[in-house]
Amino acid sequence: MRGSAIVPPSAPRRRPARRAAGALATAALLLPLLGAAPAPAAAQASPAAGASAAGGLQRAFATAAARYHVPLSVLLGVSYLQSRWDAHAGAPSVTGGYGPMHLTDARTALATAAHHGQGGAEDARGDDARPALHPAAVPSPTVRLPARLRTLPRAARLTGLTARELQTDPGANVAGGAALLADAQRELGEPLSDDPAEWYGAVARFSGADDTATASAYANDVYDVLRTGEERTTDSGQRIALAARPGLAPDRAQLARAGLRTADAADTECPRSVACEWVPAPYEEFGDGDYGNHDVGDRPSSQRIRYIVIHDTEGTWDGVLNLVQDPTYVSWNYTLRSTDGHVAQHVKAENVAWHAGNWYVNAESIGLEHEGFLANPDAWYTEAMYRSSARLVRYLAAKYGIPLDRQHILGHENVPAPLSAYIPGMHTDPGPYWDWRHYFALLGHPLHRTAGRGGGLVTILPEYSANRPVFTGCTAPGEPCAAHGSGAVRLYSDHDENSPLIEDIGIGTAPTTDVNDVSSRVSTGQQYAVADRWGDWTAIWYLGQKAWFRNPGGQPTAVPAAGLVVTPKAGADSVPVYGRAYPEASAYPAGVPARSVSPLPYRLPAGQRYVVGDRVPGEYYYAVTFTRDSHRVVVGKDLYYEIQFGHRVAFVRAADVRLLPSTT
């Protein structure tokens, strides 16, 4: 989705009204959740638990563990799964969670902002053969805040610390987490044992999940951390260590006494390692030949699933799930919850969800929405959600033969526009604050150097926490965003940060540093052909231009790689670039109108090289009616190469280019 600056509740919605969804029932403790975004971080309070000095946070864990009689390793393991021990300077997560223990207080952390899919003129289906479906501006529903979003007030009652201390002081926050764990252990009737194996039930309860599958998946992740151990430097510069306990075997039988419900996992397509429930997106007809909110299909028998697209919701869990169950809205395959990594599946993999804004990509992809907001850098994602997402993606990639690389695991921001007119409105999520480096490590395919300096390519790979490019537009147009780690690297027209930014002619406006402007930046894991070098600067071929970025040897933002590239065939000054790989006109059977093979406004010039992600056939899924009898998959003889052309991928006809090793 395109991220939006936080706006007051009275700000008008930009999407034209079509049909409003039914409101949810109100209850005693209510909060508008749809489109809620975290409020700006509160100012730092004076330390309440001595975690500000060097090494103080490690001591704070030890002090809290001793005070509340919780094994230190359990406290560290839970905190790692919540935040990787980061404090985020007192800023709340997407679900109103604070500090290393992610103590939640959604009532104070969440404020109204533009909702999921906001934008008005977008066509999430991305198929000009069928009129665009523009979903309604749905009023924000009100829902009862679940216990998982109210752990901070409970921690305040247990510890006697103020809410402000728990929000802003890491040491106080750790104490609050320890108190919650001890309280959960007592509620289960378990002793405050010094054996971490006897805390499985309390850890599961700490997740806030109300079902056994999610709570168990969360606890299993914590105990995986305890078995392997972890060590890292936090966002405040403190080194935290957790020693490995390889043989640790928790008492999983405790979970049966936790009083949690059994979630209905029937019909879901998920690995056993994640907690998954079926919340179906409706396939319904609603007059005038209109229907939604996806198309039935027969994948992978009819056509391959080639891509997984990573989105953020630009809205919170409850509101977004309400939307995907509206037949007049758009759809995606899965939604992931931030607090505990819980997964809801909405559309079967065999069917085509409307999520990417490009019909070719939709027809060959699976879309995952993650609870989050790209325009708020401190609306951070939990480790629990990153891990759950990675396990789901690993499962889907193995099942459908999808390579685990950045030309097949796409951000929504990397999906090309199908036609030139779509370019300015394409989405920009999950944005520069999604940690692709960490995500690929969790996928079991860590990004790293794969060649020497002469490999001909680079893989973009900045150190996330240390890489802090300036972005604007998070809270108001032109206003600087909070300084934050990022996986993005900015591109310039020369080896000088005072030179102009690289321009995307398809967008039609001058490039900016706005958090939603992807015209002049690259992202972690993307690969490009090296065009030049100058001191600490590297140039790559990008959108038909030579684009420069800082790449100092002491703190590199890219590492050498090698692979396959394309360049125009001999004699061609340039070749066209496409946003969809559609068949030639002669491939369409009677009754299926041929779709135009229309190039985007870009050209791939002679002498330039672009990294190849895949070779694909020209393919089009014709599905413009509710009934399936007219649906067809059209496959042509023309072949295309998917390439990394700019920030987004693109396609070139194989007949127009030469395929070369990058080292030549």
**Distance, CA of 100 to CA of 94 (rounded, Å):** 14
Candidates 192, 174, 194, 172; CA nearest to 183 is 192
**Distance, CA of 424 to CA of 420 (rounded, Å):** 9
For every residue of 389-432, which 3-state class applies, written as one string? HHHHHHHHHHHHCCCCCCCCEEEHHHCCCCCHHHHHHCCCCCCC
Cβ-contact 458, 527 below 8 angstroms: yes
Candidates 320, 377, 254; CA nearest to 36 is 320
HSE-CB at 572 with a 13 A cutoff on CA atoms is 17
CB-based contacts of 253, cutoff 8 Å, min separation 6: none
Q: How many CB atoms lie within 10 A of CB 591?
A: 8
What is the bridge-based pairing of β-strands 352-353 and 294-295?
A: antiparallel
Tokens 């924000």 correspond to what residue? Answer: 140
Token pair, residue 4, equals 């939006």
Token pair, residue 382, equals 């939990």
Instruction: Return the SS3 of 461.
Output: coil
Burial level of 90, CB count in 10 A (0-12/13-18/19+)?
buried
- CA-CA distances (angstroms) from residue 446 to 369, 453, 591? 22, 20, 47
Cβ-contact 371, 320 below 8 angstroms: yes
Cβ-contact 609, 629 below 8 angstroms: no
Token pair, residue 15, equals 């999407």
Candidates 653, 621, 654, 615; CA nearest to 635 is 621
Token pair, residue 411, equals 């951000």
What are the beta bridge partners of residue 336? 343, 370
Is 165 among the catalytic positions?
A: no
- For the chain, the 3-state helix, strand and coil shares in percent, each to the nearest 5, are 25, 25, 55
**Distance, CA of 523 to CA of 374 (rounded, Å):** 14
Candidates 309, 367, 408; CA nearest to 612 is 408
The alpha-carbon radius of gyration of the chain (Å, integer) is: 25
Phi/psi of residue 610, each to 5°? -135, 140
For every residue of 528-549, which 3-state class applies, written as one string? EEEEEEECCEEEEEECCEEEEE
Q: Spell 159-193 as b/e; 16+ CB within 10 A means b.
A: bebebbbbbbbbbbbbbbbbbbbbbbbeebebeee
**Distance, CA of 33 to CA of 125 (rounded, Å):** 26
Active-site residue, selected from the candidate residues 122, 198, 314, 369: 369
CB-based contacts of 376, cutoff 8 Å, min separation 6: 3, 6, 37, 38, 94, 474
Catalytically active residues are: 369
